[in-house]
Chains A and B, each alone.
Chain A
Amino acid sequence: MNLSDERRGDVLIVRPEGRIDTNTSEELERWLMSRIDGSLKRLVVDMSGIDYISSAGLRVLLMTVKKLRGSGGQLVLGGLNPSVRQIFELAGFLSIFAVEADVDRAVAKLTGAAAGA
């Protein structure tokens, strides 16, 4: 799995690529936890490069959203492909996470800008 960051204003975009399974989820956990430790309030995880996520991966995202919300922050997921979206749906996670079609919409959702504008 590859991991990278991008900043757009006060929004941090984390971009994992590949499979988020039992082995790689620990790497993602360390990456995300090291970034939400501080004063981060707006986080987007770009899921467009992910073709599989296991329950261990869902746990990392759950932990991230709960910790972020605990400190008054927000997380939006963007760009889930249909099979990843189905995994979220099966677990009932579409009711837990804010999900947008792509990263631009996810950023817009956090910054209050009109989507597609």
Chain B
Amino acid sequence: MDGAREGRSQEASLVRNLNSLLEVSKALGGEARLDSLLGVIVGKATEVMDAERSSLFIFDEASQTLSIRMSEDVAQGQIRIPLGVGIAGHVAKTREPLNVPDAYADPRFNPKFDRDTGFRTRSILCAPALTNTGKLIGVIQVLNKAGHAAFTPEDERLLLAFASIAGIALDRARLVEAFLEKEKIESSLRLAHDIQMGMLPKHFPQRPEIDLFATLRPAKTVGGDLYDFRLDGDRLWFVVGDVSGKGVPAALFMAVTKVLFGVSVEVESSPAAVMSRVNRALCRENEHFLFVSAFLGRLDVRTGELEYANAGHNLPYRLRGDGSVSTLPASPGLVMGVNDEFVYQTESTRLEAGDGIFLFTDGVTEAIDTQNELFSEARLEACLERVKGWSPVEIVAGALHALDDFVGEAAQFDDITALAIRYRAD
């Protein structure tokens, strides 16, 4: 008689447990976002286990610690528990459930939480939450079985089943979070890319005395190169620059720099004065500590007189009509955005008919091959020594072709900009 009744009651509780688990499974299945999932797991654990309180600890692989993520009293992330410490730490280490009928009789129990919250812990049941590949994702702890002295072996089995459902749901939510984070970064990179490319000039100025060409190949993650031209009567202004940093801040800094150059060449009379004005403006609100290197030139297309100023940029090359190549002598100056009192210098030279100028950013010379070897000034010079008589578009194409050959399969990690001008005189 007794045996039969016990059988029926076991059967009834089995069915009840199964129904609870099905319900849990459904509830957790509807929550793909980690934040809301944590709340649902804790709430359901308390309900299904018929307990007073539940906590969920998330395991951090890097630091090998547990952090409490959701509990009725403790703000999440406040407490970090090493593996092996306390009840939850013990379960995380052994990956076995632990049933503690009397918390205060167990030396692993830390009564501090009770003292801090005024809660009185009696019994504890704790189980590991694993992913379906068996990796530890967290620990679920339920406190104080309602109306009973302790949790039963049946409760243990139920919590284990509950934890395995929760583990799989948590694992999936983490994947979703990582995916969304990646999407966010990528859309921010697309925005940076659009800002940057939208700021570049659409047309090159036309004058019979000069021929020019420029290109910018944006890198996927780093941004901030710029180039620009402006024809002011008989004088051609040109600039190449490189903003430190990446993403939207660098793209915005690039856009501001470009606008400042455009305004400044209309009001200032020398390259150094333009540089100083742009620099002062960039220093004003620069909480990201960004800076930009730039080389600014002004070519008188009737006389070949070339004036220029340098703000910490790679020195351009002068390509003489006879095929020889040399760097344009210029003092280094200082990158813009760092010191608003810096005094820039205008230097000058005279281009002969047939001479050319080649400007670039460090994305060219610091491009690396699969062995981490830099393309370097030496390789760039070697390639510029072969461009005698070439037009600017041919010079740029030649240089980038040599670069591509060198780099091979290695990823491009910085913007690549090249600008060439050939002075034809008449």
Contact = CB atoms under 8 A, between A and B. Distances in A.
Nearest to B293: A91
Contacts of A62: 289, 291, 338
A90 B312 contact: yes
Contacts of A96: 334, 338-339
A63 B246 contact: no
Contacts of A90: 312-315, 332
Contacts of A21: 413
B335 interface: yes
Given A52-B374, A55-B362, A22 B413 contact: yes
Query: Which of B221, B244, B333, B413 is packed against the most chain A CB atoms within 10 Å?
Result: B244
B82 interface: no
Interface in B238-259: 242, 244-246
A85 interface: no
Contacts of A89: 332
Interface residues of B, number: 28
Contact of A59 (B244, B312, B334): B244
Interface in A52-94: 52, 54-56, 58-59, 62-63, 66, 89-93
B311 interface: yes
A39 interface: no
Contacts of B332: 89-92
B245 A56 contact: yes
A91 B366 CA distance: 14
B91 to A, nearest CB: 32
Query: Which of A22, A23, A89, A92 is packed against the most chain B CB atoms within 10 Å?
Result: A92
Interface of B: 221-222, 242, 244-246, 289-291, 293, 311-315, 332-335, 338-339, 342, 362, 366, 372, 374, 413-414
7 nearest CB pairs, A to B: A92-B334, A91-B312, A55-B244, A63-B289, A92-B312, A59-B244, A92-B332
